[in-house]
Amino acid sequence: MNQFRVFTRWRPLSTSDSPQTEIKRKCEEHANSRISMSLVPPTKSIRPWTSEAAFTHVFEATDHNKCVFDAVVAPTLPEVLKGHCCNLFAYGHSGSGKSHTIMGYDFSNPDEFGMCLAAAHHLFEKLETLNEGNHAAALQLGIGLRMYELRNKTAFDLLNGRSSCHVREGYDGQTHIRGETEVLENGKVRVRPVVTKPCWSFDDFRKELLAGLALRATGTSTVHDQSSRTHAVLELEIVTRALLDVRDAVIERQSELVPVAKRATDIYLEENVKGVVQTPEGKYIPNPDYQIDQARIDAAEGQKAEFESFVKKAEDHVEEIMRSSRHDCLGGKLVFVDLAGSEYYHDKAASVSRPKQSAQEQQEGRQINTDLLALKEVIRARALKQARIPFRSSPLTMVLRGHFMGSSTVNSHSAMILTVSPSSEQFAATMNTLKYGNLVGLAGGDKTAR
Ligand SMILES: Nc1ncnc2c1ncn2[C@@H]1O[C@H](COP(=O)(O)OP(=O)(O)OP(=O)(O)O)[C@@H](O)[C@H]1O
């Protein structure tokens, strides 16, 4: 099976909802073991809706987090331990249970851990075994945690005081998320990526996760709050101290290269400006009184090439550490994406009403809509094994590029959980979420996917 899995999770009715208002729904299993869902609208003015056979499984309100973890995340852990990358998305209306699912609200009861904490718990159990007999501290395996919120082309680093970082495509064709430029002594210019917090035990991990969550407005859902207007990304990567150190060395060598490269450019420009004069007619001609100092230009270029070679050497060192690791799991990643609230998804075919939005919210809504449609197209292109995957279509898919590219298989170890409310008052929001999930399930299915 090589399909992108889409799950639905019904949250329980909240105490403020009356039980009579529960949405009537039906599931049907099809020959391909996929499920279709039908919803009966609370009023006659809305047409009943039936999805296609797009869903892998439907969790009911009584299913707790452990049940969801066992079915959705646990099967991906062997892939992560082989050094591959698996992605898990949560999508739903504000208050439908995305944070409950991904982050969890109980950080001490393993049965109620969110997917992220439960995954770390299981990974640390495995890493402890792999670390046995390995006495070199620099080679002890742990989990590097990165946490950021994404809005348009800006990422807010939750493990670095919510500082803002830019999402850009580098000269190497890779997407880089980089913080503000720091100007250091001797003209060195350093641009750090999103912070990776190394965690060498489960308790370290839990502490960092809680610190990151404290900077995120979750759990106080209103459709206008901040968390519903950003995508939250949590990356868990299997690392060693040695790997983190050599990555830091690359950043250090790059910062040393900046002033040297600038000096080479300045010298080249200076010599060439001195080497020409302007005629009364406004033309530039070689300056008869100045001979361009080519040796000076070459010396500066030579120094630049030397510093470039230091960067290359540091990058090779990272490759070498990855290649020579005794453990396949080094660099393995599990990425959780708590997508922006489904109230921002605009499906032309959906005749559902949406809450009134301000001009800024409408603009953000358009961007979120672009992100979500781009994500669906990326999933479809991967399912179709297309040569060109449209990662550049949105900042979200640009950020996910590295994670999707690091996946072992086309789609099968990535999944989406749709969180939905059973309250009739939330019917429109629930149907909108399921409509998007239906499209993603079809797109990530087989070659006949639409
Ligand atoms: N499956 C569930 N079982 C029990 N409680 C749940 C479940 N899903 C959600 N809840 C509860 O409902 C409330 C809202 O859920 P949650 O904060 O996860 O919503 P959300 O989709 O993340 O909203 P937002 O995007 O605004 O942060 C929380 O108190 C949460 O504990």
Q: Cβ(304) to ligand 1 under 6 A?
A: no
With beta carbons less than 8 A apart as the criterion, state whether 255 and 189 touch: yes
| Residue 304 annotated as binding site | no
Q: Cβ(95) to ligand 1 under 6 A?
A: yes
Tens of pLDDT, residue by residue over 251-295, are 999 889 988 999 999 999 999 999 999 999 999 999 999 999 999
More confident residue, 231 or 365: 231
Q: Cβ(98) to ligand 1 under 6 A?
A: yes
Ligand 1 centroid – CA 85 distance (Å)? 27
| Residue 166 annotated as binding site | no
Rg (CA), the chain: 26
Q: Cβ(225) to ligand 1 under 6 A?
A: yes
| Cα–Cα distance for residue pair 335/175, rounded to 1 Å | 16
Mutate to test the pocket of ligand 1, among 10, 15, 100, 361 (most ligand atoms within 8 A of CB): 100
> What's residue 351's pLDDT?
45
Ligand 1 centroid – CA 429 distance (Å)? 15
**Confidence class for position 89, pLDDT limits 50, 70, 90:** very high
ipTM above 0.95, yes or no: yes
pLDDT at residue 222 above 60? no
| Residue 135 annotated as binding site | no
Q: Show the CA angle centred on residue 445, arms to residues 329 and 103, nearest 5°.
A: 50
Which three-class secondary structure state does DSSP give residue 287?
coil
pLDDT more than 70, % of the chain? 90
> What's residue 150's pLDDT?
92
Of 254-263, 307-316, 380-389, the least confident: 380-389
With beta carbons less than 8 A apart as the criterion, state whether 100 and 215 touch: no
Helix (H) or strand (E) holding 117: helix 115-131
Q: Cβ(403) to ligand 1 under 6 A?
A: no
| Residue 93 annotated as binding site | yes
| Residue 95 annotated as binding site | yes
Most confident of 117-131, 184-198, 214-228, 417-431: 117-131
Tens of pLDDT, residue by residue over 127-169, are 999 998 777 888 899 999 999 999 888 999 999 999 999 998 8
Of ligand 1's atoms, which has the minimum distance to the CA of residue 341?
A: 25
| Cα–Cα distance for residue pair 63/59, rounded to 1 Å | 6
> What's residue 203's pLDDT?
96
| Cα–Cα distance for residue pair 377/374, rounded to 1 Å | 5
pLDDT at residue 447 above 60? no
Closest CA to 387 of 354, 364, 410: 410
Domain map (residue ranges) of the chain: 5-239+327-443, 249-321
- According to CATH, the topology of domain 5-239+327-443 is Kinesin (3.40.850)
Ligand 1 centroid – CA 337 distance (Å)? 16
Ligand 1 centroid – CA 221 distance (Å)? 8
| Residue 376 annotated as binding site | no
With beta carbons less than 8 A apart as the criterion, state whether 82 and 332 touch: yes
pLDDT at residue 315 above 70? yes
Ligand 1 centroid – CA 53 distance (Å)? 26
Ligand 1 centroid – CA 116 distance (Å)? 15
> What's the start-to-end Cα distance of the chain, in Å?
18
Ligand 1 centroid – CA 231 distance (Å)? 16
Alpha carbon 397 to its chain's center: 8
At 426, the amino acid letter reads Q
pLDDT more than 90, % of the chain? 56
Q: Cβ(114) to ligand 1 under 6 A?
A: no
Protein residue whose Cα sits closest to atom 20 of ligand 1: 95
Q: At what angle do helices 202-214 and 115-131 cross, to 10 degrees?
A: 150
With beta carbons less than 8 A apart as the criterion, state whether 175 and 399 touch: yes
With beta carbons less than 8 A apart as the criterion, state whether 260 and 310 touch: no
> What's residue 65's pLDDT?
96
| Cα–Cα distance for residue pair 163/338, rounded to 1 Å | 19
Per-residue tokens: 29 = 């299993």
At 122, the amino acid letter reads H
Tens of pLDDT, residue by residue over 12-44, are 988 776 666 889 899 999 887 889 999 988 888
Ligand 1 centroid – CA 431 distance (Å)? 18
Q: Cβ(56) to ligand 1 under 6 A?
A: no
| Residue 161 annotated as binding site | no
Which three-class secondary structure state does DSSP give residue 160?
coil
